[in-house]
Amino acid sequence: MRRILSSLLVAGMIFTAGVQEVPAEKEKKDLKGVIAISGAWALYPMVVRWAEEFQKIHPAVKIDVAAGGAGKGMADCLAKIVDIGMVSRKVYQGEVEKGAWWVSVTKDAVVPTVNEGNPVLEELLAKGVKRDVLIGIWISGDIKKWGEVAGNDMAHLIHVYTRSDACGAAQTWAEYLGKKQEDLLGIGVYGDPGLAEAVKRDAYGIGFNNINYVYDAQTKKQVNGITVLPIDINENGVIDKDEDFYNSRDDITEAIAKAGYPSPPARDLHFVSQGRPEKETVIEFIRWVLTDGQKYVPESGYINLTEDKLKRELRKLEAE
């Protein structure tokens, strides 16, 4: 009888130990509420995708996303009009002093664009354009004719376009040319879609866009009517094989990831708020963006941050 009891006792201990060793399943957070986001056109397509996927996981959360330029995103978040501002340029010290807190979430680039019907397009694609020429077009205004860019006697005037709204694309482009957005010459056009459309309609036009407004989301090829003007990075007067990565969205995002595209036209994109977010729903959305949400980055035409940088950004979410 003692042997039977002893056996039962041992069996019971083994069963109990087994139960204790099985970890409790982590409970899924029951998030709810509204997250308001505004700002950079550059981030808008990516954040819309993130919002759609996050709301599938948390159907009680509603995320409102509105584009309007990086300047609006920064102003809205500092005024606490929105929970998150989308900002596609560096965060300035004056904004930090006003309470700006931010995390970088992905990466993209700004590219110069021309009309696909440009009369010297063949020469432009073969030779590319040097940085000094771009400065002559947008900053000094010394270069006024397409022949001066292509190296021939073409007398057609260059129709220069820029952004009318305070935005990361214009600031990034201006910084590449050694200046600020307010120094850019040209006809001001509102928003990324508006600037792309202006160049599409003007055979002699030149502009600049975030890459997701130049490449078709489905085909990943350049959209009809607009062509990326390749930058002659090594300035040898010809677009070499290692500089020729503009034909598809996949090619240029790979070049950016490998640092083949010049900086600052390639830049980090940020979420900004007035101080570290206090709402749990906002914190968890940002945490998801920096972890599981990163799998949607390449297919959306953006570039993942490095693992080390993502870890650094995640640490910013921890309460001080």
* pLDDT value, residue 146: 98
**Neighbouring C-alpha atoms within 13 Å toward the C-beta of 206:** 28
Say if 20 falls within a structural domain. Answer: no
Residue 19 lies in a domain: no
In which domain, by residue range, is 120 found? 109-257
Q: Which pair of structure tokens corresponds to residue 93?
A: 């010290």
Of residues 124, 68, 315, 115, the one with CA closest to residue 222: 115
- In this structure, the answer to whether residues 157 and 126 fall within a common structural domain is yes
pLDDT of residue 313: 97
In a domain, 2, yes or no: no
User: Residues 306, 295: one domain?
Assistant: yes
Final residue before a domain boundary, out of 257, 275, 299: 257
92 with 40, same domain: the answer is: yes
Q: pLDDT category, 259, cuts 50, 70, 90?
A: confident
Average pLDDT of the residues in 129-142: 98
pLDDT digits (tens, 9 = 90+) for 157-208: 999 999 999 999 999 999 999 999 999 999 999 999 999 999 999 999 999 9
Per-residue model confidence as pLDDT tens digits over 204-239:
999 999 999 999 999 999 999 999 999 999 999 999
Residue 91 pLDDT greater than 50, yes or no:
yes
Residue 190 lies in a domain: yes
Local confidence band at 30 (pLDDT 50, 70, 90 cut-offs): confident
Checking if the pLDDT of 12 tops 50, the result is no
Residue 72 lies in a domain: yes
77 lies in the same domain as 88: yes
Instruction: Assess whether 42 and 104 both reside in one domain.
Output: yes
Three-state SS for the chain is CHHHHHHHHHHHHHHHHHHHHCCCCCCCCCCCEEEEEEECCCCHHHHHHHHHHHHHHCCCEEEEEEECCHHHHHHHHHCCCCCEEEECCCCCHHHHHCCEEEEEEEEEEEEEEEECCCCCHHHHHHHCECHHHHHHHHCCCCCCEHHHHHCCCCCCECEEEEECCCCHHHHHHHHHCCCCHHHCCCEEECHHHHHHHHHHCCCCEEEEEEHHHCECCCCCEECCCEEECCECCCCCCCCCHHHCCCCEHHHHHHHHHCCCCCCCCEEEEEEEEECCCCCHHHHHHHHHHCCHHHHHCHHHCCECCCHHHHHHHHHCCCCC
Output the pLDDT for position 263: 81
Residue 192 shares a structural domain with residue 293: no
Same-domain pairing of 216 and 120? yes
What lies within 8 Å, CB to CB, of 66 at 6+ separation is 37, 38
Model confidence at 14, in pLDDT bands (50, 70, 90)?
A: very low
Residue found under tokens 């201990």: 13
Percent of the chain with pLDDT over 70: 91
Check which CATH number belongs to the domain holding 187 and give it: 3.40.190.10
Same domain, 132 and 217: yes
Indicate if the pLDDT at residue 8 is higher than 70: no
**Token pair belonging to 72:** 């609006």
Please count the structural domains in the chain: 2
Contacts of 155 (CB under 8 A, 6+ apart): 145, 147
Work out the average pLDDT over 268-277. Answer: 97
236 and 120 in a common domain: yes
- Do 91 and 136 belong to one domain? no
The reply to whether 6 falls in a domain is: no
Q: Do 117 and 242 share a domain, yes or no?
A: yes
Residues in the chain: 320
Per-residue pLDDT for 276 more than 50? yes
Domain end among 257, 283, 307: 257
Confidence of residue 28 (pLDDT cuts 50, 70, 90): low
pLDDT confidence bin for 4, thresholds 50/70/90: very low
Q: Are residues 169 and 141 in the same domain?
A: yes
Q: What is the pTM of this model?
A: 0.86
108-117, 211-220, 258-267: least confidently modelled range:
258-267
